[in-house]
Amino acid sequence: MAALKIKKGSSRKSAYELRDPNAEVIERHTLAVLVDNEAGVLARVIGLFSGRGYNIDSLTVAEVDHTGHRSRITIVTTGTPAVIEQIKAQLGRIVPVHEVHDLTVEGASVERELALFKVSGTGDKRVEALRLADIFRARVVDSTLESFIFEITGSPEKIDAFADLMRPLGLVELARTGVAALARGSEG
Amino acid sequence: MVVQALKDQGVDTVFGYPGGAVLPIYDEIFQQNDIRHILVRHEQGAVHAAEGYARSTGKPGVVLVTSGPAATNAVTGLTDALLDSIPIVVLTGQVPTFMIGTDGFQEADTVGITRPCTKHNWLVKDTNKLSETIHQAFHVALTGRPGPTLVDIPKDVQFATGTYVPPQKARTEHYRPQVKGDTLAITELVEMMEQAERPVFYTGGGVINSGPGASQLLRELVEATGFPITSTLMGLGAYPASGEKWLGMLGMHGLYEANMAMHDCDLMINIGARFDDRITGRLDSFSPGSKKVHIDIDASSINKVIHVDLPILGDVGHVLEDLLRIWKSRGRKVNKDGLKAWWSQIEEWRAVKCLSYTNSDKIIKPQYALQRLEALTKDMDRYITTEVGQHQMWAAQFLGFEDPNRWMTSGGLGTMGYGLPASNGVQIAHPDALVINVAGDASILMNIQEISTAVQFRLPVKQFILNNERLGMVRQWQQLLHGERYSQSWTESLPDFPKMAEAFGCKGRRVSDPAELDDAIHEMIEYDGPFLLEVLVEKHENCFPMIPSGEPHNKMLLGDDKATDAIKGGGAVLV
């Protein structure tokens, strides 16, 4: 299959102002979903995506308000504009879902992901890995004579780039947290 | 506590079947007289009966069954209620909390299994949360777009004592879907209505679910504007079938005039319907020249299948009220000349008489059977349920519904075996009414055991079976799509239906002569108890009109002459 054209959603119109539904442009959107932290809520969200055939590129979930029992689920998904609108409407229909925000269209936002890289090697490769880690502002969190574990934080693209560089230098294992994202500005 | 919560929710009837994991609740039911328990013969029957009860009253239907197999048997009914937006609350027993996850006897992951087929479900692990959860289940089932909810209650939670929370104190505030429509959008719709030359109202089950007030407002709106109106299978009765603006049902087996009006209109006003694939036919040529407006309480229904020009999110009743008020205040304007020409076009379509069929004096045609049923019962206090298949479509075409909540059928899921238990539920809610289940010989066997329930509770339900010894709709599709190779679509050993009825303690009769049909129907209606009338009908009759799958509204088949192999190309993969 040819590489799909991916563009960031640019519209700031309301959820009902559907962009051309026939346009076969696959967009990548980051959704923030605020839910009651109750049993099964994640299963409901994941079940919705699998049951209706939507994509999940990345999914992150954790409690963000202990007293209010609220969790925040950050989902990165891809689809045509019509599918993205459907995903948001379907998420909004789940009873314990309080808010659904499409960070991609609601204004500027920041996205960060944390990853741990285990890179093993000796000699020049080991030195090169450490030098590149420095350039990428990755920290060494574990070290043996033949390996490092790097901790790196950044956009998913930065982590992809770092992984591409580490692969020939002895990357043996990689753990990523998935995307956490917030809208810029002072409002919550 | 469970029984108290049900009482406080105003529940008078529970459909259920006892078992190990719900014995404490059944013990409470034994010791009280406020709630009537209807013992069904199969848990699927309990859910369909509750659906019949709910659809015919607007109140939630309540089901109580045990764990494991009982819960899995309820799944079909839950899915049916989800697709048709029917408010029901199902309480299931569960193995005690300390046994959950051990593969205990009659243990199933009920909340896991029913998660995609309920609007919401809960597993209650703390008795102190039990009553509040039940109240929330009722709130969620009834609020917004209605649907089924399920509360799974482990046996130790049933035995323990805890604090009771009355309905008024239960926290429900976070689930409050929007009911008022946006006034600006409604005004925009009024402007469209003032100018439209060829408008059509396309209404659905949402009007019925919104309550009798919504149907009343719809009637007022249709009469005042003079616009034609059609409805989906689920919406029949919201506007009276005898009304002069009524085009009949639309869709795959809808009326020619209704589908042509949908195809050629310039303004389509969808009120509480969801552009189901039975309605739209081929999507890229669905009503190509129209502006489309969609009024729906469920945001996910809007722009799901068909892109609309104007969405209005809100409850049908509230939106119609505002719509009428705004339209009146702007001077009750319509495009009179346009409408006149539009109606004369519609009259031409009506003149096609798409429901005509060749009658016979030797064999009963299914259409004739339903025409006679209609003629002999239409003035009675009548409720109709159906199974699924050809008989269902003929019933929708040939029976007229003057009021909402009188027509109970499985639309979205198309569940064979729905009608008989649903008729029991309707009769429970309306003990003095005439309740008829229009059935096929194949469908009725899917939940035939529920006749026993009708006999036990002396429910005078009437089973009106059109027996063609075929899976009629399957056979029709095999003729249209598979070169008349009738794979597995007839039944070689049907029971003797009247004798079977009598074995259950129900009265039965068979009729095959058209001349005796009226007498048989009279006997059925007048008999004071459950009655099964088996009508032997023409075996190879097809249900027309029909939009073959993959075709648009204006490519309807009106009769048998062009039917063989009518489904071709891309349409063949559709169902």
Q: B183-350 maps to which CATH number?
A: 3.40.50.1220
The answer to whether the Cβ–Cβ distance between A93 and B299 falls below 8 Å is yes
Q: Phi and psi of B295, rounded to 5°?
A: -100, 120
pLDDT at B490: 85
Q: Which residue, among A16, A52, A83, would best test binding to B if mutated, counting the most B CBs under 10 Å from its CB?
A: A16
As a residue count, chain A comes to 188
**Fold entry, domain B366-536:** Rossmann fold (3.40.50)
The reply to whether domains B183-350 and B366-536 share a CATH topology is: yes
Is residue A19 scored above 60 in pLDDT?
Answer: no
A21 vs B: CB within 8 A? yes
CB distance B116–A15 less than 8 Å?
no
Rg from Cα positions in chain B: 24
Check CB contact under 8 Å for A39 and B123: yes
User: Chain A residue closest to B109 (CA)?
Assistant: A40
Residue of higher predicted confidence among A26 and A16:
A26
Is B299 in contact with A15 (Cβ distance < 8 A)? Answer: yes
By the 8 A CB rule, do B130 and B153 touch? yes
Contacting residues of B for A18, CB less than 8 Å apart? 303, 307
Helices (H), B236-365: 256-264, 277-280, 316-329, 336-350
Q: What is the pLDDT of residue B491?
A: 81
Q: Does A23 reach chain B within 8 Å, measured CB to CB?
A: no
CATH number among 1.10.1370.30, 3.30.70.260, 3.40.50.2000, 3.30.70.60, domain A6-11+22-102: 3.30.70.260
Residue A1 predicted with pLDDT over 60: no
pTM of the model: 0.92
Per-residue model confidence as pLDDT tens for chain B (575 residues): 999 999 999 999 999 999 999 999 999 999 999 999 999 999 999 999 999 999 999 999 999 999 999 999 999 999 999 999 999 999 999 999 999 999 999 999 999 999 999 999 999 999 999 999 999 999 999 999 999 999 999 999 999 999 999 999 998 888 889 999 999 999 999 999 999 999 999 999 999 999 999 999 999 999 999 999 999 999 999 999 999 999 999 999 999 999 999 999 999 999 999 999 999 988 989 999 999 999 999 999 999 999 999 999 999 999 999 999 999 999 999 999 999 999 999 999 999 999 999 999 999 999 999 999 999 999 999 999 999 999 999 999 999 999 999 999 999 999 999 999 999 999 999 999 999 999 999 999 999 999 999 999 999 999 999 999 999 999 999 988 888 899 999 888 999 999 999 999 999 999 999 999 999 999 999 999 999 999 999 999 999 999 988 888 988 888 876 666 777 777 777 77
Query: Catalytic site residues of B?
Result: 43, 105-106, 155, 473
Show me where the domains of chain B are located: 2-169, 183-350, 366-536
Nearest-by-Cβ selection for A47 from B115, B175, B299: B115
CATH 3.30.70.1150 fits domain A109-183: yes
Q: Does residue A39 belong to the interface with chain B, where contact is any CB pair within 8 Å?
A: yes
Q: Tell me what pLDDT residue A23 has.
A: 58
Give whole-number Cα distances, A102 to A89, A106, A119, B50, in Å.
11, 6, 36, 39
Q: Parse chain A into domains and list their residue ranges.
A: 6-11+22-102, 109-183
CATH topology of domain B2-169: Rossmann fold (3.40.50)
Task: Report CA B523 to chain centroid distance, whole Å.
Answer: 28
Residue A161 contacts B where some CB pair is shorter than 8 Å: no
Interchain proximity A43–B119, CB inside 8 Å: no
Output the 3-class SS for A125-157: HHHHHHHHHHHCCCEEEEECCCEEEEEEEECHH
Q: How far is CA B23 from the centre of its chain?
A: 32
Does any CB of chain B come closer than 8 Å to the CB of residue A82? yes
Name B133's Cβ contacts closer than 8 Å, sequence gap at least 6: B122, B124, B151
Contact B311 A89 (CB under 8 A): no
Question: What pLDDT score does A4 carry?
Answer: 43
Helix intervals (H) in B448-546: 450-456, 472-481, 497-504, 517-526
Q: Residue B218 corresponds to which amino acid?
A: L
